[in-house]
């Protein structure tokens, strides 16, 4: 997995790129939480759940179904998120599903149960370019963590800055073009 903080880059980039006019601060915060939440599955280790179990690491909580459930939950909080139902659903869904997708690009682990419960198969992308992060904090803060951080800068943070910049330009260009209604 990328480090927990790197998972937050996707909703941050989308929120910053789109701007507060389209994505409220509370909605960005909900997206950040949704992008990090799947990794709470590491707590299952303490309960004796094995990594490869459907409720183990990179199992159910990394699936499209889990992202759909988080998106649906966001629909119930549209007032607090200062968003429409469709906007809240879409933003939180994309933030949550991005977690599993990023994990599929990593160089280690057992893959991601993206299609659970339709399939318990675990998947990687053909391009495993992001160095997998260790699960222990002491190793994240050591030499291994530095290699992971540099990999994440190259493969996640850099592209996220590019996406945010292009999105911001598109949003700015759309505001500059007057819209004439059809009569």
pLDDT of residue 144: 82
pLDDT per position as a tens digit, 111-158: 999 999 999 999 999 999 999 987 777 667 778 888 999 999 999 999
Q: So what's the pLDDT on residue 92?
A: 98
Nearest to 92 by CA among 73, 109, 107: 73
pTM: 0.91
Domain ranges of the chain: 4-176
Q: Which residues of the chain have pLDDT under 50?
A: none
The tokens for 107 are 């160089």
* Res 183: pLDDT: 53
106 beta partners: 130
Q: What per-residue confidence (pLDDT) applies to 143?
A: 80
């Amino acid at each position: 997995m990328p480090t927990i903080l790197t998972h937050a880059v996707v909703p941050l980039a989308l929120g910053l790129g789109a701007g507060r006019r389209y994505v409220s601060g509370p909605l960005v915060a909900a997206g950040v939480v949704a992008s990090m939440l799947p990794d709470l599955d590491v707590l299952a280790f303490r309960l004796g759940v094995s990594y490869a179990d459907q409720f183990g690491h990179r199992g159910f909580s990394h699936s499209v179904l889990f992202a759909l459930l988080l998106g649906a939950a966001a629909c119930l909080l549209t007032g607090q998120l200062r968003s429409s139902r469709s906007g809240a659903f879409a933003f939180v869904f994309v933030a949550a599903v991005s977690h599993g997708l990023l994990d599929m690009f990593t160089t280690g682990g057992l893959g991601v149960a993206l299609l659970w419960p339709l399939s318990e198969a675990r998947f990687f992308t053909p391009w495993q370019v992001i160095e997998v992060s260790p699960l222990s904090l002491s190793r994240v803060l050591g030499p291994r963590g530095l290699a992971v951080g540099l990999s994440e800068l190259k493969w996640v943070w850099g592209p996220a800055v590019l996406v945010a910049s292009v999105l911001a330009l598109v949003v700015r260009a759309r505001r500059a073009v007057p819209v004439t209604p059809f009569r």
